[in-house]
Amino acid sequence: MYTPNAGAKGTDTITYQVKDKNGNVSNEATVTIAINEPPVAGDDYGKTKQGVPTTIDVLANDKDPDGELDKSTLHIEKNGSKGTATFDVDGKLIYTPKPGATGQDTITYTVKDKDGSISNTATITIDIVPTQTTPTEVYEKGLRTDGTAGDKSSVTVNGVIELSNPTDKPTTPSDIKIIEPTTKLTSGGEPIKWEPSDNGFVGKTPDGKEVISVKVTDTPTADGNTKVNYEVNLKGLVDHPEGKDSLNIEFGVNNGTDEVKTEIVVHDDKPSAADVELSVEPPADNTFYANLIISLDLSSSMGRDDSGIQGGNTHSGMKTRYDAALDSIESVLNSYEERLNSADAGEVRVSMNGFAKQASAIGAIKGYPMDQPYWCSIADARKIVEGLRGYQELRPDHQVIGVDTNYDAALQQIISIFQKPSSSGMEPLDAKNISGKLDNTLFVITDGIPNFGNQEGSQDPLVGNGIAPTSPNGFIPGSPNSDIGEDSWKAFLTEKGIRSVAIGIGQDMLNSSNGKTGEEFIKPIAFDGQKGKDNDGSDVIVLKDMSSLSNILEKYVPSENTIESSFSKNSRDEKTLSFGADGMKSISIEVDGNTYKYDPKTNSITSDGKDKSIWADFGGGEVAIKTEAGGLLSISLGEKNFGQLTYRPGTTRPIGMEKETFTLTLTDNDGTNGKSSISVDISKLKESGHTGLNDADLTALKLFSPESAMELSGGDHDVNATSSHSTGFMHSSLDALQETQNAII
């Protein structure tokens, strides 16, 4: 055995002799050995893009010092972990990265020479470079139609992908193959299917509605690369997983040589709302002066026992419309008295009136003259209400006033009580003679469509016996023999500064006469003479079920320290809230750890709180909530008057508490939430060990109090829609009660 010395090369000779068994020595022989040097394999380096195969000539730096390499003997000792390597017939290594692989990979190999000597083990290092693509981002916010999209709202964006093109082969958009996304998408719960389009593809719902599209627009080629310019257009909503703000859609492009993938990021349109900050500023002058006027329908139909209120001594077990109306009037009197008692100074005077075919003042004695005004205190008015119950002696005789319904008589009689002196010696309060603001409110309560007027044969062809747009020729204000038009009625209310509220009760108000419903007939009665404006949306109230009538009337009682605002608009009437393009699923407000949630599908409020006595659902998304600080938060989460709120603080605040904070949560149809806060600074109220609200139930709630909003801290200003401001809500805040009525009807 011959072992060459290290580094030996060339030839070597060895001489030897041999003996036979008899000891004879042979001649000397020579062995000549050629020493063959093994091949030397050098390490190699390569670089490629993600997903792109590459070829490396590994033999270029390999050699055989004394012969020739045999390329057919190239052998991979260890293959790569991020890709696969093979040798072609020319001895070149072909490396193909695994899909998505990036980073560094290594392969080892050996080679032999033609004499069969094997080389050392060489290492090939390959860097797999990530494809440098920037995802295109589109925003569902840009699909809004309410003008609140703002920044970052693009629905059409352009992107670019660079593909390898070593030969600079001319390329057109049609030469590019777009690899469709594999991400499963839905829009409104409907699956999105990808379809080919010109130089791209489009995602559609089963009904053919286009939701999103991608198309190649240009393909400039230079320096071994093709730039693929493309356009993404978001045309509809893409459903996002609940709680996810964005959704990534992967797609790719291929030019036959190279393939690159990138992503489209669809950003969900998250609900948003501005924070609202309010401040309680106790009024410097806490006075309460008011004239309260009642005009009650006394027609025979008021005796029907279908009020919706249990407890009547009737065949149905329900109270009559008449008794339910008297209950609500008594409740209003109590609320006015409560408000008066909370004032430092003031007075309330009441005028009770009734009507059927004719109208009559109602006094404190039996047989009171129907044409003689009667003004009295709250206490005396309460006695009159008791005297009207059960058809007692104070009720005007049907033989005198009839059993029909005459709106002209009712309105003319109200005018007359301001024209003639009262037999009680008490006249209506006059703003000129008091040191404070005077509130004048009239409630007209009726259950029937008018079937009589004051003047025989004077029916208006459009309104029948209802209130015509204009008064007839020869109109006499306050006369029982003259009809009155809406023009003259509004003029009277404006002159006296009276807010007139028209309330229709019972099934008859839903019926149609002369092509009009009862609601349309009572609209001319409602007018705000204090502001000189129609409040048909809030001051025309129609109820089939009268169970909420007391609460509705009480809401008109002015409050000395009710503040108002909106969580959906600022003082310039600009929207500060949006559910985004996905639309509203629900909205809730958290008060003192309890959540009150409005569901538009059921048009109702639910609460996770156990104490049902601290809140009331008034229908249509209106909810009133007593707070731990003694406040009364009334807020509209429903469609009508959406965003409007009032806060009525207690007379004092708990020791150490300076602010009440409520949290709104907006949830869109994707399940994405947005939050904002409503905070009320109550630090200027006096501290007390107890709060100022002690009601055992919610009958005293003044939801959306119609008057006397207290001054807000800092005046009417707006900083990022978070400042205190007045919205004019006090005179339109009862619009949402129509939702209640619709639900009841």
Contacts of 588 (CB under 8 A, 6+ apart): 595, 596, 597, 598, 637, 664, 665, 667
Range with top average pLDDT, 4-18, 101-115, 137-151: 101-115
Q: Is the pLDDT confidence value at 147 over 70?
A: no
Is 548 strand, coil or helix? helix
Measuring CA to CA, how many Å separate 510 from each of 83, 469, 517, 587, 745?
79, 22, 6, 32, 9
Element (H, E) at 740: helix 737-744
Domain locations along the chain: 44-129, 136-269, 273-279+562-744, 287-357+365-373+405-554
Residue, of 343 and 186, whose pLDDT is higher: 186
Mean pLDDT of all residues in 604-621:
84
Please, are residues 729 and 706 in contact by the beta-carbon 8 Å criterion? no
Rounded Cα gap, residues 159 and 141, in angstroms: 20
Mean pLDDT of all residues in 489-512:
91
182 burial (CB, 10 Å; 0-12 / 13-18 / 19+) is exposed
- Given this model, what pLDDT does residue 431 score? 87
pLDDT tens profile 501-534: 999 998 888 887 777 888 899 999 999 999 898 8
Rounded Cα gap, residues 259 and 616, in angstroms: 63
Q: Is the pLDDT confidence value at 37 over 60?
A: yes
Residue, of 277 and 153, whose pLDDT is higher: 277
Name the token pair of 333: 């009197």
Q: Is the pLDDT confidence value at 630 over 60?
A: yes
Rounded Cα gap, residues 176 and 259, in angstroms: 10
Name the token pair of 733: 């805040």
Please, are residues 355 and 415 in contact by the beta-carbon 8 Å criterion? no
Range with top average pLDDT, 93-102, 426-435, 552-561, 658-667: 658-667
Separation of CA 566 from chain center: 14
Beta pairing class for 345-355 and 287-297: parallel
Residue recorded with tokens 């659902």: 617
pLDDT tens profile 66-122: 888 999 999 999 999 999 999 999 999 999 998 778 899 999 999 999 888 899 999
- Given this model, what pLDDT does residue 149 score? 56
Rounded Cα gap, residues 405 and 393, in angstroms: 21
Q: What is the DSSP letter of 662?
A: E
Reference 556, options 384, 297, 725, 329; nearest CA is 329
In DSSP terms, 93 is beta-bridged to: 56, 87
Range with top average pLDDT, 9-13, 363-367, 561-565, 661-665: 661-665
Separation of CA 501 from chain center: 32
Please, are residues 654 and 668 in contact by the beta-carbon 8 Å criterion? no
546 burial (CB, 10 Å; 0-12 / 13-18 / 19+) is buried
Quick one: pLDDT band at residue 741, thresholds 50, 70, 90? very low
pLDDT tens profile 283-341: 677 789 999 999 999 998 998 888 888 887 888 888 999 999 999 999 999 989 988 88
Is 353 strand, coil or helix? strand
Q: What is the DSSP letter of 274?
A: -
Q: What is the DSSP letter of 258?
A: -
Rounded Cα gap, residues 88 and 469, in angstroms: 99
Please, are residues 199 and 134 in contact by the beta-carbon 8 Å criterion? no
pTM > 0.75 = no
pLDDT tens profile 204-215: 999 999 999 999
The backbone torsions φ and ψ at residue 539, rounded to the nearest 5 degrees and listed phi first, read -100, 5
Residue recorded with tokens 């660079």: 162
Largest CA distance in the chain: 174
Contacts of 463 (CB under 8 A, 6+ apart): 514, 516, 521
Residue, of 354 and 695, whose pLDDT is higher: 354
Please, are residues 500 and 539 in contact by the beta-carbon 8 Å criterion? yes
Per CATH, the number for 44-129 is 2.60.40.10
Residue, of 182 and 104, whose pLDDT is higher: 104
Q: Is the pLDDT confidence value at 475 over 60?
A: yes
Please, are residues 101 and 128 in contact by the beta-carbon 8 Å criterion? yes
Name the token pair of 556: 């008109």
Reference 698, options 627, 642, 641, 643; nearest CA is 627
> Cβ of 649: how many Cβ atoms within 10 Å?
28
Contacts of 462 (CB under 8 A, 6+ apart): 468, 514
Reference 406, options 493, 462, 483, 478; nearest CA is 483
Name the token pair of 106: 């290594």
- Given this model, what pLDDT does residue 377 score? 96
Q: What is the DSSP letter of 202?
A: E
* Domain 287-357+365-373+405-554 superfamily per CATH: von Willebrand factor, type A domain (3.40.50.410)
Q: Is the pLDDT confidence value at 465 over 60?
A: yes
Q: Is the pLDDT confidence value at 488 over 90?
A: yes
Name the token pair of 403: 């059993």
Reference 261, options 251, 269, 270; nearest CA is 251
Which residue stretches of 450-559 are H helix?
A: 486-496, 518-522, 536-539, 549-554
- Given this model, what pLDDT does residue 143 score? 84
In DSSP terms, 123 is beta-bridged to: 108
